[in-house]
Amino acid sequence: MKIKNIIIAGLVAVGFSACNDYLDVDAPSKYDNDYVFSDKTEINRALNGVYAQLLVNNLYGSAYLSTFCLNSDVEMNISSNEMPTDNGYRRFDCNSMGSDINNYWVAAYKAIEYANNFIYNLEKSELYSTGDSEIMQKLGEAKALRAMVYHDMVVMFGDIPFSFTPTYELSDFVMPVVNREEIHKTLIADLEGVAPYMTFARDLSEGVERASKEFCWALIARMSLAYGGYSLRPDENSNTSYGVMRRPTDYLDYYKVAQAYCDSVISSGTHALNLPYNQVFINQCNYIVVNNDDPIFEIPFAKKSTGRVGYIHGPKGENYEGSTTGINIWGKSDGGARLSAFYRYSFDEEDLRRDFTSGMWYYQYDGTPVILTDYTVYNNKWSKFWANSGNTLGADSEGETGINFPYMRYADVLLMFAEATNELENGASGPNGEAAKEALRMVRARAFANSGDVSTYVASVAGNKEDFLKAILDERKWEFAGENMRWKDLVRNNLYSEVLYYSFLRYYSVAENAAGTSDYIAAVEEYDGKPGYLELDLPYDIYYQIADNPANVDIYPNTTLNVLNLYNQYKAAQYPGTGWSTAQFYQWWNENDGCPKDQCLFSFYGFMRGDRRGSVYIINNGTETHISGTNNLPVVRYILPYPNAAIQRSAGVYKNYYGFTR
């Protein structure tokens, strides 16, 4: 049963009375709260209003998956801007004046305000006092949604304003700033209290489009890992310091919590990885909701009215005079949420996720495929082009798609369990070691045809704690492209600086190598464990031809439009003969300036950058410093500043650290 349109109705039909001077959000009231919370139908309408706040583009509808999906060795946004900006978040270059950051902040706190109002009024109602199971489920949903938004804010902003009290109940309408550990402790305890009264997704009429018992458990696990992991902390004694990476002293206690709640999800048997990897996402693009497989909670966008999943993802689709034509019935697609040009080279060649995820061509308005020669590739996990003829949005469509985003997946739970176990038991040889290895094997097995090879691989990487952690994080890298996971995984394990260092140098050294040689390319190849793959094997010329559609979603999810056959996508090769066209790749050397092009110099601007004189710098507390290897790399300033508007509304109660001067 679909709830998308019901939730949109909730957005316009139900509100709460509130005083929102601090949050600057409106919550129009149609009904008196006493009336709303005395009737189950009205309570459900009010809960739909909470869900509806998640769907806006300034929050999960787009910004979470694009604007604030930070650069790494997986997701990648290219910039040629050599100057600092207000809003270069993905390249670690911003300040408190950027409009995007204020829009996200306001949307997040509006969602929190709706949840706080719902929970506050429901817990005062007579229906709540009866302990009715339906009421407790709805309470749990609201608490899970509130925890989800707060958690993402903590990961992005660090210590933040926090309260469970509606703003109209606060004496001065200003939420106090609370330490991130205290926030996560409070959220975890809140969900632990309500989870026993919640229902499994398989038993909900709306399934995984509602927050369920197992989503609640999985969210506790995710927050616990974030609590126990590293994060960037402010230096309150310095206005210029970017801060220091640190984890709390009781971090192992929360790895235990994460392990236990992941185990609860696994032991429940309510989810599995039975569907092929690609089918999980093709289903979402066709508005098919499956309640007992990988997705645990899908944000339920409404078709053609909310959510840009599959518009910002997938191949770009051009239109002409507002429409596509002929056999191209899918309309315009942006295709801007992309992946690193080198991401596809990290996969095992037998991994089925590789060719499904990495998109190498786009479509003209008439459906003609055109090869992409750029600094990135398309993320083909979702696309409006994957909708079959009965589910298309129309040739004149663009923007909102209504394709669900799987905020929580079973694959994530399995890998969180393996990561927590590895940390707690110093590898995979402890009492839960076999279960941790099986969790990794299950995720990997779905992506490989030969299960024996998968078992051999898992055994080979489980010899010690360091190798097993690397294998887990690698699996997450290959599994969650485009889901705003990679940079958070790296932060949690204090690896972000190292990975960004080599991510910059991949682009820089390949650009140099196109002109003859590079001093950095051997170091990058050694780090990647692939000697010669950039210097000798990279296909600077890729041969391609337009081909008939294979009409097989296991090969290509669109079964109508022509495709491109690529002769040598992964390795250099000789010209295959007539019938093939040639496209040049990695032509990133600027002959006029005698250095890599600006896109290679400035896409990691706030952490590492080059100049047109051939120098490369690492950024240490805002100062350019010549690189000298990976020893003592500075922190990545991934933390976002409080928006200036929020600081002004707080009358100076809030202030920024991490070197943000405004």
Rounded-to-integer distance, Cα 456 and Cα 611, Å: 46
pLDDT score recorded for residue 11: 46
Least confident range from 100-114, 555-569, 621-635: namely 621-635
Identify which has the larger pLDDT, 15 or 242.
242
pLDDT score recorded for residue 32: 75
CB-count exposure of residue 131 (10 Å: 0-12, 13-18, 19+)? exposed
pTM: 0.95
Is the per-residue pLDDT at 610 higher than 80?
yes
Is the per-residue pLDDT at 6 higher than 90?
no
Beta strands in 597-645, from DSSP E residues, in sequence order: 608-610, 616-620, 623-626
Rounded-to-integer distance, Cα 461 and Cα 417, Å: 16
The total of other beta-carbon atoms located within 10 Å of residue 417's CB is 26
pLDDT score recorded for residue 4: 53
3-state secondary structure 333-344: ECCCCEEECCHH
In one letter, which amino acid is 148?
A: M
User: Would you state the structure tokens that stand for residue 230, as one six-digit string?
Assistant: 């590293």
Contact criterion met (CB below 8 Å) for 637 and 235 = no
Contact criterion met (CB below 8 Å) for 266 and 366 = no
Planar angle of CA 427, 429, 433, nearest 5 degrees: 85
Contact criterion met (CB below 8 Å) for 513 and 526 = no
pLDDT score recorded for residue 372: 98
CB-count exposure of residue 298 (10 Å: 0-12, 13-18, 19+)? buried
DSSP code of 124?
A: T
Q: Is 590 helix (H, G, I), strand (E, B) or coil?
A: strand
Closest to 160 measured CA to CA, from 218, 229, 217, 108: 108
pLDDT score recorded for residue 26: 40
pLDDT classification of 472: cutoffs 50, 70, 90: very high
Closest to 275 measured CA to CA, from 406, 178, 462, 176: 406
Phi, psi of 172 (to 5 degrees): -120, 15
pLDDT score recorded for residue 294: 98
Closest to 581 measured CA to CA, from 271, 373, 440: 373
By percentage, how much of the chain surpasses pLDDT 90?
A: 90
The total of other beta-carbon atoms located within 10 Å of residue 161's CB is 22
pLDDT score recorded for residue 3: 56
The total of other beta-carbon atoms located within 10 Å of residue 590's CB is 17
User: Would you state the structure tokens that stand for residue 537, as one six-digit string?
Assistant: 């094997």
The set of residues, in sequence order, having a beta carbon less than 8 Å from that of 450 and lying 6+ positions away, is: 350
Q: What is the chain's mean pLDDT, rounded?
A: 94
pLDDT score recorded for residue 227: 98
Averaged pLDDT for residues 442-451: 96
Q: Helices (H), strands (E): how many in the chain?
A: 20, 21
By percentage, how much of the chain surpasses pLDDT 70?
A: 95
Rounded-to-integer distance, Cα 530 and Cα 546, Å: 31
Planar angle of CA 158, 161, 163, nearest 5 degrees: 125
Is the per-residue pLDDT at 10 higher than 60?
no
Planar angle of CA 73, 297, 422, nearest 5 degrees: 55
pLDDT classification of 142: cutoffs 50, 70, 90: very high
Q: Is 171 helix (H, G, I), strand (E, B) or coil?
A: coil
DSSP string computed for 495-523: -HHHHHHHHHHHHHHHHHHHTT--SSHHH
Give pLDDT tens digits for 407-420: 999 999 999 999 99
Is the per-residue pLDDT at 615 higher than 70?
yes
pLDDT score recorded for residue 286: 98
CB-count exposure of residue 452 (10 Å: 0-12, 13-18, 19+)? exposed
pLDDT score recorded for residue 89: 97
pLDDT classification of 23: cutoffs 50, 70, 90: very low
Closest to 54 measured CA to CA, from 284, 296, 299: 299
Rounded-to-integer distance, Cα 563 and Cα 118, Å: 49
Give pLDDT tens digits for 38-63: 999 999 999 999 999 999 999 999 99
User: Would you state the structure tokens that stand for residue 303, as one six-digit string?
Assistant: 């078709």
Give pLDDT tens digits for 210-223: 999 999 999 999 99
Averaged pLDDT for residues 188-217: 98
Rounded-to-integer distance, Cα 418 and Cα 221, Å: 12
DSSP string computed for 265-314: HHHHT-----S-HHHHHHHHHTT---SSSSEEEEE-PPTTTS--TTTSSS
Rounded-to-integer distance, Cα 604 and Cα 618, Å: 10
The total of other beta-carbon atoms located within 10 Å of residue 286's CB is 15
Bridge partners of 338, per DSSP, are 378
Give pLDDT tens digits for 515-548: 989 999 999 999 999 999 999 999 999 999 999 9
Is the per-residue pLDDT at 25 higher than 80?
no
User: Would you state the structure tokens that stand for residue 65, as one six-digit string?
Assistant: 């998956």
pLDDT score recorded for residue 169: 80
Contact criterion met (CB below 8 Å) for 127 and 43 = yes
Give pLDDT tens digits for 652-662: 899 999 999 76
Give pLDDT tens digits for 323-353: 999 999 999 999 999 999 999 999 999 999 9
Closest to 527 measured CA to CA, from 491, 555, 487, 500: 500
Q: Is 628 helix (H, G, I), strand (E, B) or coil?
A: coil
The total of other beta-carbon atoms located within 10 Å of residue 253's CB is 12
Closest to 624 measured CA to CA, from 645, 601, 653: 601
pLDDT score recorded for residue 662: 61
Give pLDDT tens digits for 245-283: 999 999 999 999 999 999 999 999 999 999 999 999 999
Averaged pLDDT for residues 78-86: 96
Rounded-to-integer distance, Cα 172 and Cα 598, Å: 48
Closest to 159 measured CA to CA, from 655, 659, 559, 527: 655
CA distances 311 to 7, 135, 238, 332, Å, are 21, 36, 42, 8
Averaged pLDDT for residues 372-384: 98
pLDDT classification of 34: cutoffs 50, 70, 90: confident
User: Would you state the structure tokens that stand for residue 399, as one six-digit string?
Assistant: 């923007």
Most distant pair of Cα atoms in the chain: their distance: 78
pLDDT classification of 173: cutoffs 50, 70, 90: confident
Going from N- to C-terminal start, the domains of the chain cover 497-626
Bridge partners of 244, per DSSP, are 233
Averaged pLDDT for residues 21-32: 43
Is the per-residue pLDDT at 72 higher than 80?
yes
